[in-house]
Structure formats: C-alpha cells, structure tokens
Chain A
Amino acid sequence: DAKTTQPPSMDCAEGRAANLPCNHSTISGNEYVYWYRQIHSQGPQYIIHGLKNNETNEMASLIITEDRKSSTLILPHATLRDTAVYYCIVRVTIQGGSEKLVFGKGTKLTVNP
C-alpha cells in the first residue's frame, strides 16, 4: 500500500508558484521521497527526490520537514503544461535492491490561465 497522503486536487494560476503537500508520517530513516507526475495518459515522469535535505533541480524544489513526516513540492512558476497528476512516493526497498515505486492517489494539479 502507498505510504503517502496527498490532497486529491489543487488549482494554481499560471505564473504563480504551485505548492503541493504530501504527508508520509511512517517513513523510515532510509527511505527517500520521490515525486513523479503524469500528464494525461502519458508515462509517469520523474521530477525530483530527496532524503532529508531540501533539493532543487531545473523542474522543481523539494522541501522536506525536519522530522521527515511531510514534504512539499514547489513548481516556482507554473505553466499550463504543468497540469498533471502529481505523485508523492516513498521508495519501498525490497529484497535484492530493485526498488519498485508504489503509486498512491496523487494530486490533480490544474494550472489556470
């Protein structure tokens, strides 16, 4: 089962920052937080991941609370093309190290003109 909780939907104005929250209160010390997004029926796309430090790349920033029980994905200047379902995933480590992703319900982000 997914180990994260996200709001089912959010709206954001084009050009503004989109802040997507995620709760993962049962996360283990060696589990990473991954964010993926899926634009209508396309393959999920990797955005960013982190362990406990804040991370930033060309797509987004990831803020993880000090207790690691929650995180926020920030899209600094949302565009219409950022409309998608965003998945926050705690990486499940399985025997042998081939770590699958377990998708939860995700947040449907709609960026409005």
Chain B
Amino acid sequence: AAGVIQSPRHLIKEKRETATLKCYPIPRHDTVYWYQQGPGQDPQFLISFYEKMQSDKGSIPDRFSAQQFSDYHSELNMSSLELGDSALYFCASSLRGATGELFFGEGSRLTVL
C-alpha cells in the first residue's frame, strides 16, 4: 500500500540559508500534518492543513511557512535557518471522518551547519 512520501530524506544547509521539504500524502487523504523532532526530543506539532486550508498551528517559527497544494501534497519552507532547526521533520496524513489514524512518513533529516 502507498505510504506518505517525504523528500528529500536528508538535507544539509548553512546558517541563514533556506530549505524546502515536500510531503506527498497517502492517496485520497485530505489532511496533512507537519512535526519537528529535535535530537532526543519528542515530535512537536508544527502545522496542519485540511483541503488546502490551514487547519491548526502549533509551535511553528515565523521563519517557517507551509502550504498544501491542489494535488494535496504539502511543502514546508524554512528560511533564515538556525543551528537549532536541525531536526527530523515528519509529515503525516489522514482522512477526515475515517477511523482517525495519522500515517507518518519516514521523515526528512535537516542538518544546519
């Protein structure tokens, strides 16, 4: 069965650069979530989208922005990168009105040097 696809899997950037992470949800899933997991930390919710509209916002820095496109894929844009942005970024998708599980991708590891 198709899973959530994230790209790139690994990304290395310098401080003050920008980065874009992409997420392709499971087909027919209409909701996408972004999570950040720092080293030794638990996943922290950043933002979610339902039907291309932002549905909830968590601890997402102002330097970050995200959107969901007409094909339901989502992109997380990160600017003015800081060392503390180094983390695993997970995307998850779900189908509203279904049994409620979120299905997570394998994550994108961002390293800021």
- Chain A positions within 8 Å of B, measured between CB atoms, are 32, 34, 38, 41-46, 49, 87, 91, 94-106
Contacts and interface: CB of A to CB of B under 8 A. Distances in A.
B96 interface: yes
Interface residues of B, number: 30
Nearest to B44: A103
Contacts, number: 68
Contacts of B42: 87, 103-106
B33 interface: yes
A43 B55 contact: no
Contacts of B90: 43-44
B104 A43 contact: yes
Contacts of A98: 31, 48-50, 55-56, 94, 96
Given A91-B100, A96-B55, A100-B56, A41 B48 contact: no
A93 to B, nearest CB: 10
